[in-house]
Amino acid sequence: MNICVFLSAADLDERYTRPAREFGELLGKGGHTLVWGGSDTGLMKVVADGVRGSGGKLVGISVEILRELARPDTDELVIAKDLAARKALLLARADAIVVLAGGLGTLDEATEVLELRKHGLHDKPVVLLNTAGFYDGLITQLRRMDEEGFLPVPLGDLVHVADDGAGVLAYLERAV
Ligand SMILES: CC(C)=CCNc1ncnc2c1ncn2[C@@H]1O[C@H](COP(=O)(O)O)[C@@H](O)[C@H]1O
């Protein structure tokens, strides 16, 4: 499977790096390909190290302004002309999308794929990996949108939440 992962470009502590590395290792061991932003920084580097170290493939979709931060050992590196084109390419190259802990860039990417799914513009599964309860606040907000009529489709049709990497892959193997 080509699995697109959105996650932080920042250097974070072990609470976040360990699950990111373990998830990368699971992807590699499962024979999957990581499709991601391609930068050699923060959790983006950690997950790619996990995939690379366990025999998986790396497809980086970077962008002109970040070209010099791109990881040198990708199996394929695409340089998009701008951030909007990059998001479209990331989605186009994925069979499924997994969101790990991240900041505004990750939130922007996650809400875009959910919004496109809401409109039926793609049907790829989207999974939130809720490391250390990082997304508890977002999940509370999404549930409120669902319960109070803000969503035209049930929340469960848009996104699945998993507590660990094994849970993500078990879900994706059923869903894809
Ligand atoms: C230190 C530095 C300038 C790193 C380079 N910065 C980046 N490199 C590649 N993708 C990025 C970068 N910043 C944001 N993104 C995109 O947004 C997400 C990370 O943003 P954030 O750290 O969650 O908000 C990633 O999934 C990635 O696709």
- The whole-angstrom separation of Cα 17 and Cα 44 is 10
User: What pLDDT, in 10s, does the model give residues 59-73?
Assistant: 999 999 999 999 999
pLDDT for 71-118, tens place per residue?
999 999 999 999 999 999 999 999 999 999 999 999 999 999 999 999
State which of 3, 23, 35, 44 you would mutate to test the pocket of ligand 1, scoring each by most atoms of that ligand within 8 A of its C-beta: 44
| CATH code of the domain covering residue 100 | 3.40.50.450
Cα–Cα dist 20/42, whole Å: 10
Number of separate domains in the chain: 1
CA dihedral 164, 70, 9, 13 (to 10 degrees): 70
Parent domain of 132: 2-175
Which protein residue's CA is at the shortest distance from atom 16 of ligand 1? 105
Q: Provide the ipTM.
A: 0.91
Residues lining ligand 1, Cβ inside 6 A: 6-10, 37, 39, 41, 66, 69, 102-106, 109
Q: How far is the CA of 155 from the centre of ligand 1 (A)?
A: 27
